[in-house]
Structures are given as C-alpha cells and as structure tokens.
Amino acid sequence: MLLDPYGKCVAKPAGYSRDAARRPGENTATAMKSVVADVATYDWEGDIQLRIPFTKTVIYELHVGGFTKHPSSGIDAAKRGTYAGLIEKIPYLQDLGISAVELLPVFAFDEQDGPPGLCNYWGYSPISFFAPHPGYSSSSDPLGVLDEFRDMVKALHRAGIEVILDVVYNHTAEGDSDGPTFCFRGLSNEEYYILDTDKASYSDYTGCGNTLNANEPIFRRLILDSLRYWVSEMHVDGFRFDLASILSRDKNGRPMPSPPILWDIESDPVLANVKVIAEAWDAAGLYQVGSFVGDSWKEWNGRFRDDVRAFLKGDNGRVRGIAQRLLGSPDIYGYEEREPEQSINFVTCHDGFTLNDLVSYNEKHNEGNNQGNRDGSGDNLSWNCGVEGPTDDPEVERLRNRQVKNFLTLTLLSIGTPMLLMGDEVRRSQGGNNNAFCQDNEISWLNWALVLKHSDIHRFAKLLIMVRRNRELPIERPETTLNELLRDQPVSWHGVKLNTPDWGNESHTLSATVSVPGNQLLLHLMINAYWESLSFELPPVEDAYEPWRRCIDTFLGSPDDILTWSQAAAVESSTYTVQPRSVVLLMTRFRNSKQQRL
C-alpha cells in the first residue's frame, strides 16, 4: 500500500505498523493511507500573508506538540499538543512580542521512526510533503486537520505573527535499504533517492538513512509544488530548510555550483515574498554558511552560536569573533552586498541544549534516549556555573540567571535576525538532554509553571524583544546592505580603556559605541566575560546630549536589570563598574529629542 506523493491528507489506522511496511506481503490493514480532500472550500475570511520585513522580525522556534502538551498549559486535555491548543496560547506569544513562529516539522511524519520503546518526536521523518501531520489535530476526522491547521495560521496572522515551517526535503521516513516502503521507494526508487554506485544502497548525507535527489526533475517539481501549496492554500509565510545544503547536491551526491532547485525556489513568482531560510550544512560535512547559493536566502549562523557561547563561557581567543557576530558577521557575509539580516542569530535551537541547560550542564545527559548516551554532540561549549544540573545554591542560580540574560542580550542586540528557542524565556530545561528527538514527554514539553517561577527572565526577554522590534538599536534600514550600514554607522571599539580594545588571546572584555543619527541616539555596550568586576571608561557625551542612562545591566536583579528610558538611572561618572560576567547597555539622546523611547 503506497501513499499518494501529492496527497493532501493522511489517515493513520489504530493498528498502524512501521514494521509491516518493511516486510513483504499485504499491509493494507496497518498502512497509512492518503485521503482525497477538497482544499478550496475553506473560508479564509480575507486572511493574507503578513510580509513582515526581516528588519522587524524576531523568530520563536516552537514545537506544536510540546508547546501545549504539558498539563500545566491549562488547556483542555483533548486539545493539548494540537494546532487548536496552540491557538489558545497565542495571547502568550503576542505578549512576549515575537513576530514569527518557526514550527518544527508539521508535514505528516512517522512517529514510530524512533529508537526502540521511544518515538519520533521532532518530526524530521516525513512521509508526505503536502499533508499536515494528523497527530497534531484534535479532530478524529482525517480531514479535520486541514481546517484546524488553517485556523491556527489565520489566528496567528490576526495576532500579527507570521508562520514559518521547518521543512525537510532532504530525506524521508523510508530509511535505508532495510527501511519501510511508504511511497517514494515503491514508486521510483532511482528517481527520488540518491543511490550508491551499486544502485542497491542509499547515499546518506543526512544521517537518516537516505538522501532525496532534489535536483532530479520529478522530485524537483514536487518540491516546488509543495512549497507553492503551503503558500497558496495554507497561507504560510516562510520556510526554514533543514540540512539545506543537501539541495545543492546532484544525483551522485556531488555539490553543484548552481543547483537548479535553489534557483527555482529563488525565482518562483508564488514564492517571491516568502521568507526562505537555510540550515546551510548537511550531515556529511558540506558547510555553506556564508556561501549558500542564491540572493534571497537567509542562513542559520552556526558561527554566531559558537562564538557567543565560547566568549560568554570565558574561553580564550574569542574576542575578535564576538565583535564580528555583533556586527552581523561581515567576515562571513561582507563579501557580497547583502542585507544585514542575512544572518539568523541564535544561541540555542531544538537541536542541542536549551538555554537553561547551556548554563547548567558541562556534559550531555542523553541516557533516556536508549543509545548509551552516544547520541547528540559532545561539543556544546556549555558551562554549568560550578554545579552539574539543578541546584539550590543561590550563588550558582544567580550566576546562571545572569548568563541567561547575557545570551539573550547579545542575541537580540546584534545586527542580523534573532531567533529564540521555545521556553528559553522561562529557562525551560531538558535535564541535560541535548538530542531530545525521541522524547515526547516532560523532558521536551514546556512547563507553563516556569512562567511564574522565572518571571524575572520572562520580563527581561519581553522588554528586550520590545527594544529590538522598536528599533532602539543600530537600525537595519530596508534596502541597506550590511556593508553600507557599517559604513554609515561606524562602531568605535574599546576595552576597559577608551579607544583601546584588547584583541589579545586572553581578552574577555569588549566595549563598543555607535551613533544612530536617524534616531538621535548614542549607544554604548560593555561586555565583561571575565570572572572579576572591571571598571570601564565611558565616552564623554557632548552638551547636545543628555547624560548616559543605564538601560541594561544583567548583573542587577529584576526590575533594575532592564529599564525603559524614562525609568533608567542617569550615569554621571566617567567610568562604570561592570560586574563579573555581565553585559551593560547605556543610552543617551539629543536633549529635547521627540524620539519616543520604550
């Protein structure tokens, strides 16, 4: 029994069996089946894509199931972990201030494609490129998922929030040569997959057993048809392409200098105003951050993640890297005249530690994945602040809180497009599991009690997002390239001494001053990743400016750690003591400025 590769709905029987699809013989009773659907009857009530510019975008990576599945969500049990459940939590997202949700895979996937006794929770195991995942529907009607998904998109749009889908066009749930046959293997194995030279086994550039042949005409057309469908019929606003470098490989697995599918996506009129984001690497070592083909693609910037983690951790040799990341990574993207938002800046995502675990664990703790703790990366650039895992030590907790605020501050103040992971704003933990792909349980679910428990971090994140979206920052103006921005708004670098930055191997400090003429603002950022307090010299302000005001100091407790302009304390001294492992932002503006502040 094979699925229709263009089917818009998938029904899964109660006795569905992945193993039965591996074995020879009849499996009709236990197979997933395509359902004929008429998608033209839905009433969108005038809904259209929001087209929020990247200059105003803050992305929130979210798992549809894990967002509301925890009992503390307060949602009726029948709706927990569903599209309908997410709708009920839109006010939380709206209050947080983010502009887009990036949903982990919602294409129908095989939940049984996981380790023995566990499941596929993340959803990177597609069986269809058109059907929304039925497991996220609160309806027992196989067709109900279509309306429920579209209801969610419509409700998010009404709240001013875009919908970006994490899409997987690099492999399927059919696995390797011992895997099940659902669709593509049974229809045309050589057309859909990249095969080894023996034509009997699969080239695996994904780490998932097979690799789709994205530049073969049949599958290339299917990718385009799928993307157009999700834009035209489901009204999504953008796509994040998992292991996007796979899309640059030819039928033999070799990287192509000008991959047809990437230019198809770039030039397609239906996709012209859609956000396209690349995870610009694959599992076989092809790394294309800064060199991904195309003129419109934004890229997950793994260098941002690594440099920010290492610098705030206190590693040596990272100060030059952190300066580049703050400025939109011109060392990576400056060779081409592209917009400042090309870099998607993130410190955490679904794959790896949460932000809380990044400051709570030195080592991964993936024993629950039943793989002997061998899975997941062992190189996390994490630091537990002195104790492995949860602790009642108030000093360690204060330091962890401070580090969380430091990471949030640099992510949201840096030039580029910021992305946050679900629950990082309330210190969600996975107990040190950095590869929770198979954990559909409280390891992965958002515990809503954390909103109150860590209300200080939640408040800090909210105000930072407000600062970001109100553009109390060096402004990335529409149609301005990163190089033009840095020329027009040059940065003055300092260390603890003015105009004397320490670029040495053992430097753990950096300070920067930037003028924002259009907003009549002057900003001064100080970062002390050292383990002792340091006195930083402050730039003198001209008479035309008001005194410096301290808007952010991550060492301070709430609410003094982040303040609105009207609340911020004046700094009259010529120096400012930045406490250990802290970030401080000072602002000033022209006297009598009519520019509205926070």
pLDDT digits (tens, 9 = 90+) for 289-316: 999 999 999 999 999 999 999 999 999 9
Please return the burial class of 217, using the count of CB atoms within 10 Å of its CB with bins 0-12, 13-18 and 19+.
exposed
Give DSSP secondary structure letters for 507-526.
--EEEEEEEEGGGTEEEEEE
With bands split at pLDDT 50, 70 and 90, how would you rate the model's confidence at 469?
Answer: confident
Phi and psi torsions of 223, nearest 5°: -60, -50
Query: In whole angstroms, what is the distance from residue 209 CA to residue 226 CA?
Result: 23
Coil/strand/helix, residue 545: strand
Burial 481-495 (b: 16+ CB within 10 A, else e): bbbebbeebebebbb
Q: What is the pLDDT of residue 596?
A: 46
Mean pLDDT of 439-455: 98
With bands split at pLDDT 50, 70 and 90, how would you rate the model's confidence at 337?
Answer: confident
Mean pLDDT of 95-113: 98
With bands split at pLDDT 50, 70 and 90, how would you rate the model's confidence at 591?
Answer: confident
Marked catalytic residue, from 174, 237, 264, 279: 279
Q: Are 267 and 309 in contact (CB under 8 A)?
A: no
Query: In whole angstroms, what is the distance from residue 501 CA to residue 484 CA?
Result: 23
Record the pTM.
0.97
With bands split at pLDDT 50, 70 and 90, how would you rate the model's confidence at 542?
Answer: confident
Q: What is the pLDDT of residue 518?
A: 65
Q: Whose CA is closest to 105, among 17, 207, 5, 236?
A: 236
Mean pLDDT of 49-67: 96
Marked catalytic residue, from 61, 110, 174, 242: 242
pLDDT at 470 over 90: no
Query: In whole angstroms, what is the distance from residue 212 CA to residue 168 CA?
Result: 10
The answer to whether 242 is a known catalytic residue is yes
pLDDT at 165 over 90: yes
Task: For each of the domains in the chain, give its residue range(s) and CATH number, in order of start.
Answer: 9-469 (3.20.20.80), 487-589 (2.60.40.1180)
Mean pLDDT of 402-415: 97
The answer to whether 95 is a known catalytic residue is no
Tell how strand 33-35 and strand 9-11 pair up. Answer: antiparallel
